[in-house]
Amino acid sequence: MNFGAISAIVIGAGVLLYGLFLSTGGDSLTMFYDFPSIFIVIGGVVAATFMAFQYRRTWGIFKQGSARILKGKTTDYRQVITEVIQAVDSYRKGTSLKDVADKVQDSFLKEGITLYNSGVMSVEQVLSIMEERNDNLYHLNSEDAGKVKTIGKYPPAFGMMGTTMGMIVLLANLDGSADAIKRVGPAMGVCLITTLYGTVMANLGFLPFSDNMVEQAKEVYLKNRIINEGLKNLFEKENPIIVAEKLNSYLQPEDRLDWKTVLSGGH
């Protein structure tokens, strides 16, 4: 469970609700509830999204992104480097590539070892294919993040649409009665609620979600770059100490792995 992300969601909701509470002077928050406004914004966003993108693909994007945010599925570079070092060390000691592949957990690392073990391709061909797959995967993940960012443009637009509709109804119903001007303030408040809904949905929902997906795409890309470098050294049966120092170069100094702990069997 990603308590950091959940805390951020709770804080965001709390700031919004408390801000609404303060803006009313402590009165009831029911004035911010308007079902037609909710229907216009949410219904419009859903309709526009399904017109722009495929339903199944869009659902998959949000499902995977939500799993990362709520379950805390982040990339552990130290664990990846540990797996690569252990794989290199095992292969140098005579373990077959098939057995090495069976032991690793990372799917990208397992895929690269399995490709080479098939005996069909050379080291250069395998590395070229894996690099191309990593580039394409980054491109696809970035496109998914871009789609969510595009969806984030819809709520404010439909919020403004609802506000415009409300203004039309408001002005159309103004008459020459003495209390007509008194109805303008409350009616204007209802008109602006759709804009509020659209702004909140975009800035506390879709746009942060998109930024999170961009970060995830970068993490996966870097992880796979580390693995590609590890595969090259694995196939060449390089010294695992040298491999460890090469892969550590991809990380910040404070995040680097101590190869002595790994090779000695520690954790």
Check pLDDT > 90 for residue 154: yes
For residue 13, being part of any structural domain is answered with no
Distance (Å) of CA 141 to CA 30, 113, 220, 243: 40, 24, 9, 28
- Alpha carbons 50 and 69: distance in angstroms, whole number: 23
Distance of CA 192 to the CA centre of its chain: 31
Range of the domain at 152: 34-263
DSSP count for the chain of H helices, then E strands: 12, 0
The per-residue pLDDT for range 199-214, each reduced to its tens digit, is 999 998 999 999 988 9
Query: What is the number of domains present in the chain?
Result: 1
Q: How confident is the model at residue 186 (pLDDT cuts 50, 70, 90)?
A: low
For residue 208, being part of any structural domain is answered with yes
Angle at 55 between CA 51 and CA 61, to 5 degrees: 115
Please state which of the ranges 24-28, 41-45, 52-56, 114-118 shows the lowest mean pLDDT.
24-28
- pTM summary value: 0.82
Q: Residue length, the chain?
A: 267
Predicted pLDDT of residue 267: 43
For 237: left if phi > 0, alpha if psi spans -120 to 50, otherwise beta; the answer is left
Q: How confident is the model at residue 4 (pLDDT cuts 50, 70, 90)?
A: low
- Alpha carbons 89 and 85: distance in angstroms, whole number: 6
Residue of 224, 237, 228, 235 whose CA lies nearest to 128: 228
For residue 22, being part of any structural domain is answered with no
Place of tokens 């939500």: 66
Q: What percent of the chain has pLDDT over 90?
A: 54
Q: How confident is the model at residue 155 (pLDDT cuts 50, 70, 90)?
A: very high
Q: Decide which of 114 and 185 is more confident.
A: 114
Q: Decide which of 17 and 237 is more confident.
A: 237
Mean pLDDT of the chain: 86
For residue 21, being part of any structural domain is answered with no
For residue 119, being part of any structural domain is answered with yes
Q: Decide which of 165 and 136 is more confident.
A: 136
* DSSP one-letter code for 106: -
For residue 11, being part of any structural domain is answered with no
Predicted pLDDT of residue 188: 72
Q: Decide which of 225 and 60 is more confident.
A: 225
Residue of 14, 38, 34, 18 whose CA lies nearest to 26: 18
- Alpha carbons 63 and 243: distance in angstroms, whole number: 36
Predicted pLDDT of residue 35: 86
- Alpha carbons 38 and 33: distance in angstroms, whole number: 8
Amino acid (one-letter) located at 181: I
Q: Is 215 exposed, middle or buried (0-12, 13-18, 19+ CB in 10 A)?
A: middle
